[in-house]
Structure 1
């Protein structure tokens, strides 16, 4: 009878995870190799897409691998080999175009990169919202960063069109100046407009979807005279408030 001790075989199992990082608009890549048994790290060599001993190396630093299917070979000093498959994703360069689709509004159109974009308008972190409202006439810088950290920048000149408050109206039914409401308020969805008579009574409240004040209060026509207004924009980045008066002519 002969008693023989069989040692446990070496564990070459590992996970290979591609990591993407950017220095421009297209990501670089490298692989992160994690051994299940890290005690053997000093006894193994590595190769990419090869089992040829001549390609084995001590350093597992494999960078900028072409997109597609690949494998890492892990070779132990006892002669055992293990291969682990992984995939490098293909990314198109990150591109950014700026459009003015509505008044005082910048829309960022992004293609390429990895979705999960973050937008920076004029230095302001706008999160994942690709629409930004301008508050001045100027050249605006827009930067977008994708999930890999790639970024690109574009600029656009925008002319700011401010709200206009009419100083009179004539609700006589002739189709001209029959209603009173500030113009260019579409960009302020939370705007609040209050109109007061000479006694401080609120005779009308208007919102962004209102047609305007017709000069009546509780279905009664109010007389010719001056009326006061308070306009609160309540914009995300524009909280201006306007106070003044206008004239109703009959």
Structure 2
């Protein structure tokens, strides 16, 4: 590119930009009268009519001076792989590779416009060249001029040109707009899009979502208090209202008005003869009524929905103030706790608290809560915050001060097989035990902590606590003879008592048993649940003997009896006949009776020592 051409291009672009008048409606845009989104689908095309573009249609791979209509933006490897403006994967767009010479690449007539009406044209444009473009510093930016001509294509109504745009770091659709006003008697126009740049490396773009919308003022309907809402309170006499259509913009030069009314805020009807910026309503009473005004630049357009703007809706209604809603039960203070009285309010209501059903003293303002210091009945008056209307009757709220029930707490220690009754000792209450029971008392035999929350009729509650411990029975681990003392050893240490005669008990676990052939060791807990016993013999009495002269167990001999001089042994047969009395127990019994051997059988014995007697039987085997 030579220096002369570069200078020419710069002057051309700068002068074109200087004339640009792009912009959007400064007021309120209506619904779209014309749209072009180029359809959707995965098949490219169809080609545009020759009257719309002079560019050459190709199915794909657009080159300079060519275009396609496709949902696939990536026509060349250097183009973005991105969807259309709406993000629809199958949405199509007009993809253009600019010609080497500037010129019109898209034009179309727009019909069905309203005469003498402001409009807004808009379109979305993207530079399709990706950040992987091969142009480098030689990239040619995209630049489109938008022109609006009258339907005869002889009068330019408006035009504007976008600033040159190089490729972006990410795909970026940008919306461009242009405003114009149709002439009297004109109901159409011609849109033209002109490529201001030149062909070469760059200047590749896509167009999507072309729209034409009527443009008008943003209008509010206000009463004399500059509010968009009026009301009368329940049972008040009717009134009429002076309404004013106030525009916050200056799109219309000489606006025309038509006032409308509605009973539901959706379906509106024209009010005959109401065609000025101000309207005085008839006397309205209890029926909710809505008003709005439609505005157009020319009165001839007021009956065409595509040529008018509608104001915001003004509402008039009778205000019927709803009551405050307290909870169904009285509010209760238990043991002097502070309690907030609370009521539910519908949106838009305020609550005022009084000490009387009528007149009385105002005690709390504009709050759904009140914290009293004494029991009694309080009254809530509701007001509509917007209108100030007051409900004729007040709602009573009852406040009671009660004491928590007095409950019984106790600890119990029980034997393993015993049961205990836990009773909070509160009649006529509601009971919630941590076991899940709901009875006034429960019977338990398992160790643990038990609680019962007891509620009185007012709903105040206290918690009764019970600790139940189960006695652990003693377990004798061993009986040890140390010298002449017997020591009772336990596997379960605790608070136990010991005895060897069952009558005298001590906390000591050792006993002198010098004069005892045998003792019964006894242990009990201090609650007397159960006595655990274990026999202890200081001698060993065999269970059998075999007098066959083989040197083994030939005599019935009591081992250890030598430590108890004076002990004697009596032997009996099964019928209780005394067979023999032996005083010298160290020799034992040979199983003889009157020098005759007795047959194999069981024989009974009595062993005497001082005041002690041990009985049993021994088996004689031959």
Normalising by structure 1, we get a TM-score of 0.43
Asked which structure has the greater CA Rg, the reply is: 2
Normalising by structure 2, we get a TM-score of 0.22
Which structure would you say has the larger RCO, counting Cα contacts within 8 Å and 6 or more residues apart? 1
